[in-house]
């Protein structure tokens, strides 16, 4: 069963789709950053920040449209919550890149790289799920894959933290890597939250 909406309200779905493209773009740069040399960090972090600003603007456009719309394709609160959740994903990707720069984290760490790869995969699944939102069906596999990938991220995070405390005696290094792992893992949590919101919207309207 498709949502009831006026033709002019298609713009919400277009804005959500544009946000997912920006999230994918930011995640791809983060993956590159986690494999890059130190002298590339600033440039890559600035690229992510630029994408994050563009995602912010799209979220703001959703809010402006909500304030002007008489009829919406689904609940106003859900539209707002989804736009903010999508924006949060990009915010945490940006926060991860800033953590690398602020702490001047050196070395290509396999756990951080694995978490970055999972984030990128999650953004693909979010994009896929959102592409079916207008029809309110067809995104089931994407939602399942979001859950699976977030579980994978949890396992990577736990192993990363265990190895960190096991192998490092440097308190500063522990603090730096711990914050990076946590920020990356938080990004995967936000992706899972997006999936939960989409599932909730579909359940309400079917």
pLDDT tens readout for residues 87-109:
999 999 999 999 999 998 877 89
**73's tokens:** 């394709």
| Within-domain flag for 2 | no
| Within-domain flag for 131 | yes
From 11-20, 46-55, 135-144, the region with the lowest mean pLDDT: 135-144
Nearest to 188 by CA among 140, 144, 123: 123
**64: pLDDT strictly greater than 60:** yes
Residue with tokens 């945490």: 92
Return d(Cα 183, Cα 141) in angstroms, integer.
Answer: 26
**45: pLDDT strictly greater than 90:** yes
Over range 23-52, report the average pLDDT.
Answer: 95
| Within-domain flag for 125 | yes
Q: What's the mean per-residue pLDDT of the chain?
A: 92
Over range 119-143, report the average pLDDT.
Answer: 94
Residue 7 confidence class, pLDDT cut points 50, 70, 90: very low
Residue with tokens 């600003």: 53
| Within-domain flag for 3 | no
Per-residue pLDDT at 4: 45
Nearest to 11 by CA among 50, 51, 58, 75: 58
What is the per-residue burial (b if ≥16 Cβ within 10 Å, else e) of 43-54?
ebbebbeebbeb
Q: For the chain, what percent of residues have pLDDT higher than 90?
A: 77
Q: Which long-range contacts (CB under 8 A, 24 or more apart) does 70-77 make?
A: 71/5, 71/6, 71/9, 72/5, 72/9, 72/12, 73/3, 73/4, 73/5, 73/9, 73/12, 73/13, 73/134, 74/3, 74/5, 74/201, 74/204, 74/205, 75/201, 75/204
Residue 9 confidence class, pLDDT cut points 50, 70, 90: low
Per-residue pLDDT at 5: 43
At 132 the three-state DSSP class reads coil
Per-residue pLDDT at 68: 85
Q: Which CATH number goes with the domain that contains 52?
A: 1.20.58.220
| Within-domain flag for 122 | yes
Is 113 buried (19+), middle (13-18) or exposed (0-12) by CB count in 10 A? middle
Sign of CA dihedral 66, 86, 124, 104: positive
| Within-domain flag for 95 | yes
Domain range for 45:
8-204
Domain count, the chain: 1
Return d(Cα 3, Cα 135) in angstroms, integer.
Answer: 7
Over range 195-205, report the average pLDDT.
Answer: 91
């Amino acid at each position: 069963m498709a949502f009831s909406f006026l033709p002019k309200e298609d713009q919400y779905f277009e804005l959500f789709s544009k946000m997912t493209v920006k999230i994918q773009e930011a995640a791809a740069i983060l993956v590159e950053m986690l494999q890059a040399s130190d002298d590339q960090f600033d440039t890559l972090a600035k690229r992510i920040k630029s994408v994050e600003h563009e995602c912010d603007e799209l979220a703001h456009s959703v809010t402006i449209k909500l304030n002007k719309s008489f009829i919406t394709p689904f609940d106003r609160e859900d539209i707002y919550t989804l736009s903010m959740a999508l924006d949060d994903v990009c915010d945490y990707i940006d926060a991860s890149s800033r953590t690398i720069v602020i702490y001047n984290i050196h070395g290509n760490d396999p756990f951080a790289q694995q978490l970055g790869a999972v984030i990128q995969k999650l953004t693909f699944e979010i994009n896929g799920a959102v592409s079916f939102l207008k029809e309110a069906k067809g995104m089931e596999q994407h939602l399942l894959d979001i859950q699976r990938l977030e579980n994978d991220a949890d396992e990577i995070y736990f192993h990363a933290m265990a190895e960190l405390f096991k192998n490092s005696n440097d308190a500063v290094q522990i603090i730096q890597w711990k914050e990076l792992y946590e920020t990356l893992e938080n990004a995967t949590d936000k992706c899972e939250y997006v999936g939960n919101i989409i599932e909730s919207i579909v359940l309400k309207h079917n």
